[in-house]
Amino acid sequence: MWICLGNSLALAACSTAVCALISLPLAQIFARRDFPGKAFWQTILMAPLILPPFVGAIGIQQIFARFGALNHALGLVGPGVAEPHPIDWLGAGGFAGVVAMQSLHLFPILFLNLTAAMANINPAMREAARGLGAAPGRVFRTVTLPLLAPGFFAGAILVFVWAFTDLGTPLVFGWYNVVAVQIFDKVTEAGFNPFGYALVLVVLLTTTVLFLVSRHLLARQDYATQGKASAREDLVPLRGRGLACAVAGLAGVSALALLPHASVILQSLSGKWFMSALPQEWTLERYREVFTLPQTVAGLRNSLFYASLSAGVDVALGVAIAWWLARKEFAGKALLDALTVLPLAIPGIVLAFGYVIAFNVPPSWRGFDLEGLRAWVNPRENPTLLLVVSYSVRRLPFVVRSVHAGLRQMSVSLEEASRNLGASSAATLRRIVLPLVRGNLIAGAALTFAFAFLEVSDSLILAMKEQFYPVTKTIWALMGRIEPGAAAVASALGVLGMFLLFAAFWIANRVLGKRMGNLFG
């Protein structure tokens, strides 16, 4: 256990460190400088969020494997550059590949946290330090960094937890000796091997403590903005060499950020791609197969069904909870508020493992026939109910926070006027509240649906029979096949998921704008 725990901690620490190295200079540029195309570059830097690392890893392997596209491209540059011993870009056992994939996916989260934290720092503090003769480097080290600490560590903890509990990426790269993969493997041994229980407990305690620390740091972040100047700090325009260096750096980071997307798209369009820098054949056949192969059609149908049900559950519960939190005062309100956020701290592998154990209903118990119950709740027989419940539980905060934000912007007087005219609370909610928060509700529901559609951990653990596989489990199954074109079909499924998630983010961003970041922390 200690070896896989150490590997997971090392993986999370390295991914967090790489994210920090990427995000800190970017945040400094975007928070302090003004330059042409700033909005465009910021949009490009958010692109990693629309592609789950589990999917991006498929394309990255095609490029960076020992006999992948990059080594063959280097071979074209000159004989012997990557031959006879191809460069192992992914590192021994895939560790470097997992770190790279997680870092490219997660750095936008830390970048957003740091940019917001920098924008909220009182500029008078830096001006005072410069007025006392401090050099720019010393001002950054002694003034800016300490004030950034709460926002930085809150974002870094979120990245760390995400990397620590990631299941899909280590599976794809073959880095199996980590906590998440070991829990996944121990599901089938849960009846007689306590090792899985111990790992789940370690993960739950670790993530809960880190989540509480993150919440505490965010609560303390106000100390960095106390006494904030009423006038916004003027952004320094970039020109000449400074602008050229900034654009070159942004172009480099953006190219790396978009590399997984490009690799998956190339893989999905390849008719044949083996031992070459680019596909030898190009085709759209893989997209046709996505909608014709029985396995992929079943995966799409199942995911649409599971995600739609979970989104409906979250909308119903989310509206009720958000309305009670925004409009009512009652004992236990703080507890309810905390419980709605708690799912963000519970990794999918923990929730799914717990469901497998809790609902492993036997055929009979003390003479009672339990086959009917077993057919509905035992994931080994039918995971539908548990998949919908797990998707709903983990994505409920999106709807609650989105609707709650809309209710806080809406005047209570409209509801009071409705009730004064004799309308019931239900009628007021249906005719007044829901139409006014419709945009927020759509934004939360869209994110809930998209994330449920592409959920990895719950899907891989709970869906045990092929007839119930959702999209992500179907992708995983296709990657394990040896027949030609299977990986390309998996990539085509991933591309469809990528565009679905992009549409959800676009809808949410149009409605919530800068407040969308509040949904994730």
DSSP 320-333: HHHHHHHH---TTH
Residue 355 near residue 462 (C-beta atoms within 8 A): yes
131 half-sphere exposure, CB direction, 13 A CA radius: 6
* pLDDT given for residue 224 in this prediction: 47
User: Does this chain's domain 1-283 share its CATH topology with 293-521?
Assistant: yes
Closest C-alpha to 136, from 124, 125, 126: 126
> What's the pLDDT tens digit per position in 210-224?
877 877 766 665 544
Closest C-alpha to 489, from 295, 279, 258, 275: 295
170 half-sphere exposure, CB direction, 13 A CA radius: 26
Q: 315 exposed, middle or buried (CB, 10 Å; 0-12, 13-18, 19+)?
A: buried
Residue 369: enclosing H or E segment and its boundaries? strand 368-369
Give the confidence band of 519 by pLDDT, cuts at 50, 70, 90. low
| Distance in angstroms (rounded) separating the CA atoms of residues 90 and 257 | 17
| Distance in angstroms (rounded) separating the CA atoms of residues 352 and 320 | 26
Q: What percent of the chain has pLDDT over 70?
A: 92
Tell me 15's DSSP state: H
Residue 468 near residue 433 (C-beta atoms within 8 A): no
Residue 56 near residue 260 (C-beta atoms within 8 A): yes
* pLDDT given for residue 196 in this prediction: 85
* pLDDT given for residue 145 in this prediction: 79
- Amino acid at position 489, single letter: V
* pLDDT given for residue 231 in this prediction: 46
> What's the pLDDT tens digit per position in 107-140?
998 998 888 788 777 777 777 887 878 887 787 7
Neighbours of 282 (CB within 10 A): 13
Q: Which residue has the higher pLDDT, 1 or 307?
A: 307
Residue 232 has pLDDT above 60, yes or no: no
Q: CA torsion sign, 122 to 123 to 127 to 129? A: positive
Residue 473 has pLDDT above 70, yes or no: yes
Give the confidence band of 475 by pLDDT, cuts at 50, 70, 90. very high
Superfamily, domain 293-521? MetI-like (1.10.3720.10)
| Distance in angstroms (rounded) separating the CA atoms of residues 437 and 439 | 6
| Distance in angstroms (rounded) separating the CA atoms of residues 359 and 338 | 26
> What's the pLDDT tens digit per position in 34-64?
889 888 898 889 889 888 888 888 888 888 8
* pLDDT given for residue 297 in this prediction: 96
Lowest-confidence segment of 69-73, 164-168, 321-325, 507-511 by average pLDDT: 507-511
Strand 236-237 and strand 33-34: pairing?
Answer: parallel
Mean pLDDT of 164-190: 89
Name the CA dihedral angle for 365, 369, 374, 377, rounded to a multiple of 10 degrees: -80
Domain ranges of the chain: 1-283, 293-521
Tell me 406's DSSP state: H
**100: which residues sit within 8 A by CB, 6+ positions away?**
18, 60
The pTM of the full predicted model, rounded to 2 decimals, is: 0.84
What mean pLDDT is reported for the chain? 85
Q: Which CATH architecture has domain 1-283?
A: Orthogonal Bundle (1.10)
> What's the pLDDT tens digit per position in 138-167?
877 787 778 788 778 878 888 998 999 999
Peptide linkage before 84 cis (omega within 30 of 0)? yes
